[in-house]
């Protein structure tokens, strides 16, 4: 029985589309509060600014990043890792704002993950032309927890591969207001983002914001 069909569990009556065995696409899930979510993102980035990190290989990433939560994802010459302090400010990352956390947990719940407790929220800002190469997310200790992603602003083509880098990939557009929950057997799939095409959105200008919620521990 699909409990999501019941009004009390899904008052917004959002369509929950299965992408794979462990992944669900929630089209337009964030549309009712996109402005409020972007305001919370701005509060975070006022304290821990968006910045272009370097890869361990020494390349500057085209995506600018920041974090909130008890840990943040960082990259530098020493590698990729989660850490409790923002290396730019030397202070703890900002607290995860309430609406961000609530909506991430709701999305996970609608996708069938009942006890998602994200402690990391990674904020990615894509300007025109920014991209993210094919990669796996495996810096998290707990690979049984899903990752929840929110897309806001201008659209981008998401590339969804297989469990090996060379596997065939699917492409689909992630648009303003979309949420996706990635877990189970899909958790370690390779994925990336094609270079963002020139566009404008009323709420963000020529920018795409992607937010990923992660649970690094048990």
Contact residues toward Fe ion (CB under 5 A) are 137
Distance of CA 133 to the CA centre of its chain: 15
CA–CA dist 31, 146 (Å, integer)? 22
* Residue 176 sits in the site that holds ligand MD3 (CB under 6 A): no
- Does residue 210 bind ligand MD3 (CB under 6 A)? yes
By CB under 6 A, name the one of 124, 176, 177, 178 that touches ligand MD3: 124
Tell me: does residue 125 bind ligand MD3 (CB under 6 A). no
Least Å distance between CB 158 and Fe ion?
A: 10
How far apart are the C-alpha atoms of 94 and 146, rounded to whole Å? Answer: 22
For residue 10, the partner it binds in ligand MD3, Fe ion, none, with Cβ less than 5 to 8 A by kind, is none
Nearer to ligand MD3 (CB atom), residue 97 or residue 146? 146
67 binds ligand MD3 (CB under 6 A): no
Pull the structure tokens for residue 62.
Answer: 């085209």
* For helices 98-110 and 34-47, angle between their N-to-C axes, nearest 10 degrees: 130
CA distances from 99 to 39, 69, 126, 167, 178 (A): 10, 13, 22, 37, 16
Q: Where are the beta strands (DSSP E) in 48-194?
A: 64-69, 72-76, 79-83, 120-126, 132-135, 147-153, 156-160, 170-174, 179-182, 191-193
The answer to whether residue 193 forms part of the interface with ligand MD3 (CB under 6 A) is yes
Please report whether residue 196 would count as binding ligand MD3 according to CB under 6 A: no
Question: CB 212 → Fe ion: shortest distance, Å?
Answer: 7
Q: Contact residues for ligand MD3 (CB under 6 A)?
A: 122, 124, 132, 137, 147, 149, 180, 182, 186-187, 189, 191, 193, 210, 212
């Amino acid at each position: 029985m699909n409990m999501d069909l019941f009004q009390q569990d899904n008052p917004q009556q959002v369509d929950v589309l299965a992408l794979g065995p462990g992944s669900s696409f929630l089209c337009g899930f964030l549309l009712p509060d996109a402005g409020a979510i972007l305001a919370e993102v701005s509060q975070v980035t006022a304290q821990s600014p968006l910045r272009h990190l370097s890869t361990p290989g020494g390349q500057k990433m085209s995506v600018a990043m920041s974090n909130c939560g008890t840990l943040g994802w960082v990259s530098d010459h020493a590698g990729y890792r989660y850490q409790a302090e923002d290396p730019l400010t030397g202070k703890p990352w900002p607290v995860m704002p309430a609406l961000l956390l609530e909506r991430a947990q709701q999305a996970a719940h609608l996708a069938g993950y009942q006890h998602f407790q994200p402690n990391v929220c990674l904020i990615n800002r894509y300007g025109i032309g920014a991209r993210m190469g094919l990669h796996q997310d495996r810096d998290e200790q707990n690979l049984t927890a899903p990752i929840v992603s929110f897309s806001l602003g201008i659209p981008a083509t998401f590339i969804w591969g297989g469990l090996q880098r060379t596997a065939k990939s699917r492409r689909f557009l992630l648009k303003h207001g979309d949420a996706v929950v990635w877990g189970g057997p899909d958790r370690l799939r390779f994925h990336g983002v094609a270079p963002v095409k020139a566009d404008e959105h009323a709420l963000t200008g020529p920018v795409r914001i992607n937010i990923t919620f992660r649970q690094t521990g048990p």
